[in-house]
Amino acid sequence: MKILYFSDTFLPKIDGVAISMRNFAEALAERGHEFLICCPRYGEGDFDKMGDHIRLERFRSGYLPSYPDIKVVLPSPSKIKRAIKEFQPDLVHIHTPGLMGVYGINATEKYGIPSIGTYHTLMSEQDMYLSFYRLLKLDKLFMRIGKLNKKIKIKDLVKFEKLDKFNIRKKIILKITNNLYDRCDLIISPSHLIKKQLEEFGLKKPVAVISNGLDLSQFKGSPKTLSVSPKLLHVGRISYEKNCDVIINSFKLILEKVPLATLTIIGDGPALASLKVQAQKLGIDQAITFTGFIDRAELPNHYPNYDLFLTASTMETQGLVILESVACGLPAVGVDSFAIPELIHDGVNGFIAKPFDVRDIAEKTVRILEDPAMYAAFSKESLKISQSHEMKACVDRMEEVYKSVADQKNKKKKRSILNTIFSLDPFGILG
């Protein structure tokens, strides 16, 4: 089969969507399938091939003012038309509901190509990037406020905590996103919990559950025992929606009960500067290590060196870093939001706390760190839970879904206002 990917993010930018796309494309390419990936142009670090069966077509793009890491791809209808004509895809797979996803789904309707859309990210949970809150650069605002006090207390930060309100802005984003995915022939969800959520949100098209998967030959560990100086870990993009500030606030309380504990935060992103200031103002910066970016190829060597994984993210459709950590035998503490309870089973391999509840996260972490028997049992269960996400089984399932959707031959073409706009640019000015 020839599969055409559309995504508003891809390598060399590192995130869960890009990693999932690469893993599936490389695994399926080994089975003889061909891929063309339409994605943003980043500049330094760009490449246009991944082996003999995976080619990339990059598109000019700009940055979202409130979040420079998000690329806004400029329209290039003639370029997409040319790519489809030359590649002749059997199937189009939409990976993001941004402009690249819109261009992709418009193309499937115009040319009558079967389509699949993966709901990698809950866009309604990223409404913060469309708000004045982010446009005013929260990290810089926080640092200015921080300069007013030598140290601050947890209670002083409560008023800055983000509240998980399903507001009108989220509803609008959700409606737009669902409308796009409902134009696909099939939707893929990385977890059963997200499938249930999507159906409750009103998606009409069938939803198949396929885990993002993990190569357990790389990410592996053995049952762990509790250390007297426990090393806590958070990994991922250091961006606002990951709520790393909540983790740091919780760690302040954890240190009061487990003074020998340390916290390492692996990753880079727009919120990193404000987190460092936050740790300093709380007086706990000596117990926190910010490593910055670490190459993904090196991560399997890092996880086993830690004792417990922490996350306060409220928007994970699966949570690849959580899966990686439990595959290496780490107990974990996360929050009750979307797919996280599928990887962190409350009272089995860790605990689920209330979203944004600093004290609840801290207390549940301390419970594990003060009970060696519980810790050892949780570690064993983490290893067991990871087994159901073996990459090969996930690739088998994806291949089956691709074949079933691609078999929808002679799909009816649609003409719409969007497709008419999509067909403009006769001289290739935008390509």
Look at residue 180 and tell me if it is in a domain: yes
Spatial CA neighbour of 237 closest among 12, 10, 16, 23: 16
* Per-residue pLDDT tens digits of the chain, which is 431 residues long: 999 999 999 999 888 889 999 999 999 999 999 999 999 999 889 999 999 999 999 999 887 665 566 678 887 888 999 999 999 999 999 999 888 999 999 999 999 999 999 988 654 444 444 444 444 444 444 545 455 555 555 554 444 444 444 456 667 777 778 889 999 999 999 888 778 878 888 888 999 999 988 999 999 999 999 999 999 999 998 988 789 999 999 999 999 999 999 999 999 988 899 999 999 999 999 999 999 999 888 999 999 999 999 999 987 766 889 999 999 999 999 999 877 898 999 999 999 999 999 999 999 999 999 999 999 999 999 999 999 899 999 999 999 999 999 998 777 777 655 555 545 544 343 44
Q: What is the pLDDT of residue 413?
A: 78
Half-sphere exposure of 183 (CA within 13 A, CB side): 25
Look at residue 205 and tell me if it is in a domain: yes
Look at residue 119 and tell me if it is in a domain: yes
Q: Which residues contact 22 (CB under 8 A, 6 or more apart)?
A: 10, 11, 50
What is the rounded CA–CA span in Å between residue 197 and residue 386? 23
Spatial CA neighbour of 422 closest among 110, 192, 121: 110
Q: Match 């796309």 to its residue by tokens.
A: 21
> In sequence order, what DSSP letters do the residues of 32-48 get, joined into one string?
T-EEEEEEE--STT--S
- How do 115-118 and 91-94 pair as beta strands? parallel
- Give CA 377 to chain center in angstroms: 28
Q: What is the pLDDT of residue 91?
A: 96
Q: What is the pLDDT of residue 51?
A: 94
- Model confidence, pTM: 0.72
Judge if 309 and 416 occupy the same domain.
no
- Give CA 162 to chain center in angstroms: 19
Check if the beta carbon of residue 331 is closer than 8 Å to that of residue 379: yes
Q: Which residues contact 70 (CB under 8 A, 6 or more apart)?
A: 8, 9, 63, 64, 98, 129
Judge if 235 and 367 occupy the same domain.
yes
Q: Match 């509901």 to its residue by tokens.
A: 97
Look at residue 154 and tell me if it is in a domain: no
Q: Which residues contact 104 (CB under 8 A, 6 or more apart)?
A: 4, 6, 38, 80, 92, 94, 115
Q: What is the pLDDT of residue 161?
A: 44
Judge if 183 and 237 occupy the same domain.
no
Q: What is the pLDDT of residue 417?
A: 55
What is the rounded CA–CA span in Å between residue 104 and residue 108? 6
Judge if 204 and 310 occupy the same domain.
no
What is the rounded CA–CA span in Å between residue 137 and residue 267? 20
Q: What is the pLDDT of residue 151?
A: 58
Q: Match 């003060």 to its residue by tokens.
A: 370
Spatial CA neighbour of 123 closest among 161, 176, 167: 176
What is the rounded CA–CA span in Å between residue 288 and residue 161? 20
Judge if 119 and 79 occupy the same domain.
yes
* Number of domains observed in the structure of the chain: 2
Q: What six digits make up the tokens of 138?
A: 């929260």
Judge if 257 and 242 occupy the same domain.
yes
Judge if 280 and 362 occupy the same domain.
yes
Q: Which residues contact 280 (CB under 8 A, 6 or more apart)?
A: 146
Q: What is the pLDDT of residue 419?
A: 54
Judge if 406 and 383 occupy the same domain.
no
Q: What six digits make up the tokens of 5?
A: 């990917």
Look at residue 400 and tell me if it is in a domain: yes
Q: What six digits make up the tokens of 174?
A: 């959700």
Q: What six digits make up the tokens of 49?
A: 């091939």
The CB density around residue 241, as the number of other CB atoms within 10 Å, is 20
Look at residue 428 and tell me if it is in a domain: no
Q: What six digits make up the tokens of 254?
A: 């954890």
Q: What is the pLDDT of residue 196?
A: 83
Judge if 242 and 134 occupy the same domain.
no
Range of the domain at 79: 2-149+168-213+392-423
Residue 338: which region, alpha, beta or left (left: phi > 0; alpha: psi -120 to 50)?
Answer: left
Judge if 378 and 407 occupy the same domain.
no
Judge if 317 and 380 occupy the same domain.
yes
Look at residue 304 and tell me if it is in a domain: yes
What is the rounded CA–CA span in Å between residue 381 and residue 326? 9
Spatial CA neighbour of 140 closest among 246, 61, 68: 68
Look at residue 429 and tell me if it is in a domain: no
- Give CA 407 to chain center in angstroms: 30
Check if the beta carbon of residue 368 is closer than 8 Å to that of residue 378: yes
Judge if 81 and 14 occupy the same domain.
yes
Check if the beta carbon of residue 60 is closer than 8 Å to that of residue 74: yes
CATH number for position 251:
3.40.50.2000
